[in-house]
Structure 1
Amino acid sequence: MIEVERVVTLDHPLADVVRYLADFSHTESWDPGTATCRRIGDGEPAVGAEWHNVSEFRGRRTELRYRMVRHDARHLIFMGRNKTVTSTDDMRFEENGGRTRLTYRARLDFNGLARLAQPLLKREFERLADEVSDALPRAVDRALRAPETEGRHPR
């Protein structure tokens, strides 16, 4: 098992951040390892909702089917699976003076022979977690900026 954790503060209210991150297709905007992520089915993101995710890691593409397994006002969990790995994205949120403190934990449980590579991959997943912690606040800012400021041009 490989587990990485990062804590970031987002300059947006908790409910808005949770609403944005509950749609796992947005990983395309903040996870550098995600090539594509598409919702399977319709409706609002809720427990049981699924996404088809294509990720790139070390020059190889892998496909996972993610399922939302928890959706609370302050906690989201997504689990992705394929024959090689089970990936768990665990997001915990705290209100912080109109801002949101996000604790993001990613856990990878490898199956079969892939388990042997875990010690060699830990450093690369730490680097990827650093990239996520840099990209995620920018993606949230772009998505949640006030609509009245979009499209304005200085005069």
Structure 2
Amino acid sequence: MSVEGTGRTVRCLVAKVGLDGHDRGAHVIARAFRDAGFEVVYSGLHRAPEEIVQAAVQEDVDVLGISILSGAHNTLVPKVIDGLKEYGAFEDTLILVGGIIPEDDVTELKALGVAEVFGPGTPMSETIEFVRNNAPERE
């Protein structure tokens, strides 16, 4: 699936940040994104925020999906966002978070620049459609 108007395939990084070792959801979403026609890079487990930023910049991704179930989302996600800003990649990257995130924290994450937070049980079609409708257009 290409970014509308560019012919460029949507590039996604599915990332596991911190010490969270639960990666089933990340694998499921990575496969669903791939099956939807997106290019997908998976970070692997236990990545530091700096490693996620480096991978997002080096892979020139349109979408960064952060999967986190450890409860450290209010610490780790802002570090990733700050890193993307340092590299000038924040404005060109759609940031998604998946996991068990309390509603009050969802509001805070969105205020920091997370486009959407997807909880357990979200239909894959909903996440894919969100990416299709919101992936940044760039050349």
Structure 1 or 2: larger helix share? 2
Q: TM-score w.r.t. structure 2 length? A: 0.28
Structure 1 or 2: larger strand share? 1
Which has more radius of gyration? Answer: 1
Q: TM-score w.r.t. structure 1 length? A: 0.26
